[in-house]
Chain A
Amino acid sequence: MRKHQTLGVYLHAQGVSRRAFLKFCSATASLMALPPSAAAQVAAALAAARRPSVIWLSFQECTGCTESLTRSHAPTLESLIFDAISLDYHHTLQAASGESAEAARIAAMEENEGEYLLVVDGSIPLGNPGYSTIAGMSNLDMLRETAGGAAAIIAVGTCAAFGGIPHASPNPTGAVSVSEIITDKPIVNVSGCPPIPVVITGVLAHFLTFGTLPDLDHLGRPVAFFGQNIHDRCYRRPFYERGQFAHTFDDEGARKGWCLYELGCKGPTTYNACATLKWNEGTSYPIASGHGCLGCSEPDFWDKGSFYTPISAGLWGSRETLIGAAAAGAALGVGSALAARARKKKARAAEEAES
């Protein structure tokens, strides 16, 4: 697809029928969490859409976000969306390397000054520029340079959105999020560790379709996907209302699919779309697989105490509390194993008493 060609003209030239295009638009509307009736509006906007340039920068990250995106369950949809954008720079996916890769980034920035979309995954270390560099340039300098001419920025993954795991205490690299550095550009935070692939493509599709960014919540996340918490959309919610909880991972409650709140599920304080969009081709999500939500789309999720402690038990909070806990580390390790065993025993006894 040529840069100034509209998507409609491009698809027509490829022999894509109007009916096939409408199927694509129906799926895209669903992808953007728009009502099905918006498909016609999406079709009109997409047909006139021009191919935006996208520069993707990867900083302190594990490549999980790119893995998530490229394993998205809608390859035909993604391939069309990727045909419809010009991904001019992405370390992992581009064929070019070394100086020619950096030249591609500079060329894309110059050709599309003020119009390109910048996607960032990974946090940025402020502790020492040498902690993470690309072609000899620190992450901080590359972000500032590339953000300068961007129309908007999408911070993909909890690391780019909130600092993520590199930011976890004691944050050895001084990792920060994109929004802590860039303050004069519109930024969308697509958090999650990794984010749900269709949420990433949904935001790209929104930009492609309407040329604007979606409505955001107080943490800069798209409301369409992060507007409701996991708990409110969870199919196990009725068990929570009835006070039916799993107490261990193999008790009667676990086997019957009861609420995982007492096993540390962070669903009530986590805003994401896992409960409806799901993972692995829409098959399941952690709670449906029997494990509580870790809260990975929330800031500092790694520092909020045990994944297996109920929210009602409170959070670790201050660093002093953590240091105190660390001093008792060895004892705690043994103690928690014993406590887990005792808890399991207690749950079994309760089950036997009930039966």
Chain B
Amino acid sequence: MTSLDGIAVKVESATGNVEPLLHEIRHALKRVADGKEGTVIDLRSLPLAPGEEERIEAFLGEGEVRAELDTFGATVFQETSYAGVWLVTHRNMKQAVLTRFIEVTRTPELLKSQRADIERGISRLEDALAASSKVERSRRESVAGQEIKDSG
């Protein structure tokens, strides 16, 4: 035996939870289509056999949108091949998975810019513009001063 792969263990287990979960997603997606609220499913709250999470992922497939948030480790938002069904994986700074959610919604909440961040952005933008105009004013004054000096 040269590696762990050489151990003759072939797990054939199945909890029977995959199909009900996929139906739950179908019902949640219908609610979103009807303009009702979205659903978030925490994959860690379900007993799943080895390989079943991968089965869910493979069934849902990958869609058109993939976005990454880089804060306290990466968070990947992957829209599945079913529009409105997102697989959201939060990782920590060591790349270990913190949580995995299936979000059934038009846009996952965390992808949207947050009001507090926007307000902080406005404040930063105003400060940056004020600093920039101060620099520009001082540059112009310096140029004007130089011109007076040269003409004199």
**Residue positions of A touching B, CB distance < 8 A:** 17-20, 22-24, 26-27, 30, 33, 35-37, 73-77, 80, 233-239, 254-258, 275-277, 281-282, 288, 290
User: What residues on B are CB-neighbors of A27 within 8 Å?
Assistant: 90, 98-99
In angstroms, how far is the closest chain A Cβ from the Cβ of B60? Answer: 18
In angstroms, how far is the closest chain A Cβ from the Cβ of B37? Answer: 9
Of residues B8, B46, B116, which shows the largest number of chain A Cβ atoms within 10 Å of its Cβ? B116
Interface size in chain B (residues, C-beta < 8 A) = 42
- Chain A minimum-CB-distance residue to B7: A255
**Residue positions of B touching A, CB distance < 8 A:** 8-16, 40-42, 44-50, 52, 69, 71-73, 75, 90, 92-94, 96-99, 101, 109-110, 113-117, 120
The one of A37, A258, A281 that contacts B97, using a Cβ cutoff of 8 Å:
A281
A238 touches B11 (CB 8 A): no
- Chain B minimum-CB-distance residue to A30: B99
User: What residues on A are CB-neighbors of B45 within 8 Å?
Assistant: 30, 33, 276
Complex Cα distance A19/B72, Å? 11
Q: Could you jot down 9 A-B contacts, CB within 8 Å?
A: A30-B45, A36-B41, A36-B42, A238-B15, A238-B16, A256-B10, A257-B9, A257-B50, A282-B97
Closest 6 CB pairs of A and B: A257-B11, A36-B40, A235-B49, A20-B71, A18-B114, A18-B116
Complex Cα distance A27/B46, Å? 16
In angstroms, how far is the closest chain A Cβ from the Cβ of B10? Answer: 6
A75 touches B94 (CB 8 A): yes
Q: Contacts A30-B42, A36-B41 known; A236 to B114 CB distance under 8 Å?
A: no
- Chain A minimum-CB-distance residue to B97: A282
Q: How many A-B residue pairs have CB under 8 A?
A: 110
Complex Cα distance A277/B99, Å? 10
- Chain A minimum-CB-distance residue to B70: A20
A235 touches B47 (CB 8 A): yes
User: What residues on A are CB-neighbors of B117 within 8 Å?
Assistant: 17-19
Complex Cα distance A239/B110, Å? 40
User: What residues on B are CB-neighbors of A282 within 8 Å?
Assistant: 44, 96-97
User: What residues on A are CB-neighbors of B8 within 8 Å?
Assistant: 255
B13 touches A236 (CB 8 A): yes
A288 touches B50 (CB 8 A): yes
Complex Cα distance A256/B8, Å? 9
Complex Cα distance A20/B114, Å? 10
The one of B40, B48, B69, B93 that contacts A23, using a Cβ cutoff of 8 Å:
B69
User: What residues on A are CB-neighbors of B40 within 8 Å?
Assistant: 35-37
In angstroms, how far is the closest chain B Cβ from the Cβ of A89? Answer: 27
In angstroms, how far is the closest chain A Cβ from the Cβ of B99? Answer: 4
Of residues B48, B71, B97, B101, which shows the largest number of chain A Cβ atoms within 10 Å of its Cβ? B71
User: What residues on B are CB-neighbors of A236 within 8 Å?
Assistant: 13, 49
Complex Cα distance A254/B50, Å? 15
Q: Contacts A19-B71, A27-B90, A37-B40 known; A275 to B13 CB distance under 8 Å?
A: no
In angstroms, how far is the closest chain B Cβ from the Cβ of A133? Answer: 38
Of residues B16, B72, B113, which shows the largest number of chain A Cβ atoms within 10 Å of its Cβ? B72
Complex Cα distance A37/B101, Å? 11
